[in-house]
């Protein structure tokens, strides 16, 4: 996991878990990115939920993602409210995972001006403030 107290590090608030997302967050503490996959139509989806958003089946299963993807789109945030105000500028992006779904995340480990659409990235995990989970973020490969 990435150290959380780097000078330019983004805040790492603990997530609010639900019964549907708890396994996802537990896996992040082990450095694993889980996705839900529908056993009926074969589609992966994110954000974790019990029913497939494509065919509405309740036959979904947890699958470990490769963690690799590409920047689909992004924006550079130059101002924000606390606690993110101290971390500006930072990149908020949608990353299209090689496994299929797009996830909203941050791109880290690179200057904001060096991020580009189509850039290959891989998941990194930043330990949350409570130390219980980790936030999946993405860095250039």
5 occurs within a structural domain: no
CA 86 to CA 46: how far, in whole Å?
29
8 occurs within a structural domain: no
Name the pLDDT band for 4 (thresholds 50, 70, 90). Answer: very low
State the residue range of the domain holding 27.
22-140
**How many structural domains comprise the chain?**
1
57 occurs within a structural domain: yes
Name the pLDDT band for 9 (thresholds 50, 70, 90). Answer: confident
Token duo for residue 26: 């537990």
- Please tell me what DSSP assigns to residue 2: B
12 occurs within a structural domain: no
CA 124 to CA 109: how far, in whole Å?
10
16 occurs within a structural domain: no
The predicted model scores a pTM of: 0.90
* Listed range (6-20, 75-89, 94-108, 120-134) with the worst mean pLDDT: 6-20
Name the pLDDT band for 8 (thresholds 50, 70, 90). Answer: low
CATH code of the domain in which 45 resides:
2.40.50.840
Of 67, 52, 43, 42, residue with least CA distance to 20: 52
Name the pLDDT band for 99 (thresholds 50, 70, 90). Answer: very high
The Cα angle at residue 139 between residues 138 and 141, in degrees rounded to 5: 120
27 occurs within a structural domain: yes
């Amino acid at each position: 996991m990435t150290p959380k107290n780097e000078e330019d590090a983004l805040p790492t608030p603990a997530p609010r878990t639900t019964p549907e997302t708890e396994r996802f967050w537990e896996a992040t503490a082990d450095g694993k990115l889980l996705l839900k996959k529908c056993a009926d139509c074969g589609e992966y989806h994110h954000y974790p939920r019990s029913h497939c958003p494509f065919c509405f089946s309740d036959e979904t299963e947890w699958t470990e993602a490769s963690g690799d993807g590409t920047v689909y789109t992004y924006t550079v945030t130059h101002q924000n409210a606390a606690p993110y105000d101290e971390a500006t500028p930072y990149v908020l992006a949608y990353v299209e995972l090689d496994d299929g779904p797009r996830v909203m995340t941050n791109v880290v480990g690179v200057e904001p001006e060096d991020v580009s659409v189509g850039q290959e990235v891989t998941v990194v995990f930043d330990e949350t403030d409570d130390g219980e989970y980790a936030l999946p973020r993405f860095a250039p490969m």
